[in-house]
Amino acid sequence: MAAHDWFGCERAEAPRADLPLIEAVHAEPLVTALQEMCARGGGRIDADTVALPGTYEAALRGAGGAAALVDALLGDGARTGVSALRPPGHHAETDRMMGFCFFNSVAVAARRARDAHGAERVLILDWDVHHGNGTNEIFHADPGVLFVSIHESPLYPGTGPASDVGSGPGEGYTVNLPVPGGTGDEGYGSLVEHVTGRLIADWRPQLVLISAGFDAHYDDPLAGCRVTEEGYAGMTASIRRAADAVGAPVGLVLEGGYDLGALSRSMAALMPVLVAEETPAPESLDVHPLAERALERLAPYWPGLRAAP
């Protein structure tokens, strides 16, 4: 990012999230437990989630940066932006830290949009290769946050079947799009363009957040998908076109991605598309069978999707 002069973006240090902001998403005992564990020097939360002395501070800033991104988009009129912070957040549930995640930063960001900026409709696209079980759980019954997740299945954490569509008033507002290992640009790109893009056109969210992991990249060691740097840039173009058409700003929040070369090359490929002045030019993308089947499944909840261009 620095080598590209930050793509012309204005840079800001991530503030610590205030506790009420975190506790709008997480149970208070989870916050206290992490704070106390880190103050004692750290500890192990589960087999792959370890807190270090600085983790509490880092997690506060991860969530605070994502909330500040929303303030820039919905308060200050920025059209696009990025919160490029770790630790990731999308596996963290209301009362459970797991999967390298402590506070669910994208959920904190969506809540910030709803509570501080009056946004009634926030769409979160999670293209991390793992299912965003935390975000899925936090907004399961909330019809104001449409959660769309593309994830390899079977894979950690094992949640997110296509049959999980949300609950109560949120039924239909959780869209799980599991894909088999080996899925590459065509499958991912089509699910973003033809499913997520049509959901944006139909529902007209006031904000689009991308839970952007880069572990679906072909070089990533933790999963088996085959997305390329060009694939990430193409998915970003699809989201920009759809979001621009309904006047929604787009905020990208970093999640996973465990090959640092793949992560940095993918960010470098998508940033010019994300921050471009002009809406990316239309592209004609085939409707992949994965997208075809998803549109069929979604028809009872989203009758407008199949008729969309």
Supply the minimum distance, in Å, between the C-beta of residue 256 and Zn ion: 3
Interatomic CA distance for residues 307 and 110, integer angstroms: 29
Closer residue to Zn ion, CB minimum distance, 189 or 213 = 213
Closer residue to Zn ion, CB minimum distance, 50 or 245 = 50
Supply the minimum distance, in Å, between the C-beta of residue 88 and Zn ion: 7
Closer residue to Zn ion, CB minimum distance, 89 or 213 = 213
Closer residue to Zn ion, CB minimum distance, 130 or 288 = 130
Closer residue to Zn ion, CB minimum distance, 65 or 89 = 89
Supply the minimum distance, in Å, between the C-beta of residue 60 and Zn ion: 21
Residue nearest to Zn ion (CB): 256
Stretch that binds Zn ion, among 107-115, 190-198, 253-261, 272-280 (CB under 5 A): 253-261
Query: What element of type H or E holds 79?
Result: none
Chain positions 95 to 134 lying near Zn ion, rule: CB under 5 A, are 128, 130
Stretch that binds Zn ion, among 131-139, 207-215, 233-241, 297-305 (CB under 5 A): 207-215
Alpha helices in the chain (DSSP H): 19-23, 28-39, 55-70, 105-117, 133-138, 185-190, 197-203, 229-246, 260-275, 289-298
Which residues are known to be catalytic? 91
First-to-last C-alpha distance (Å) of the chain: 35
Stretch that binds Zn ion, among 2-10, 68-76, 252-260, 297-305 (CB under 5 A): 252-260
Closer residue to Zn ion, CB minimum distance, 128 or 193 = 128
| Binds Zn ion by CB under 5 A, chosen from 89, 205, 213, 249 | 213
Q: C-alpha angle with apex 106: 127 to 40, nearest 5 degrees?
A: 115
Supply the minimum distance, in Å, between the C-beta of residue 132 and Zn ion: 9
Judge contact between 121 and 203, C-beta under 8 A: yes
Task: Spell out the residues 6+ positions from residue 110 whose beta carbon is closer than 8 angstroms to its own.
Answer: 70, 122, 124, 139, 145, 207, 209
Supply the minimum distance, in Å, between the C-beta of residue 288 and Zn ion: 22
| Binds Zn ion by CB under 5 A, chosen from 64, 134, 256, 280 | 256
Check binding of 215 to Zn ion (CB under 5 A).
yes
User: Which tokens hold the place of 67?
Assistant: 């909330």
The one-letter amino acid at 2: A
Supply the minimum distance, in Å, between the C-beta of residue 130 and Zn ion: 4
The residue to which tokens 């965003």 are assigned: 132
Interatomic CA distance for residues 159 and 93, integer angstroms: 13
Stretch that binds Zn ion, among 64-72, 140-148, 227-235, 249-257 (CB under 5 A): 249-257
CA-wise closest residue to 233 among 208, 210, 260 = 210
Q: What backbone torsions phi and psi does residue 46 show, to the nearest 5 degrees? A: -150, -170
Residues that bind Zn ion (CB under 5 A): 128, 130, 213, 215, 256
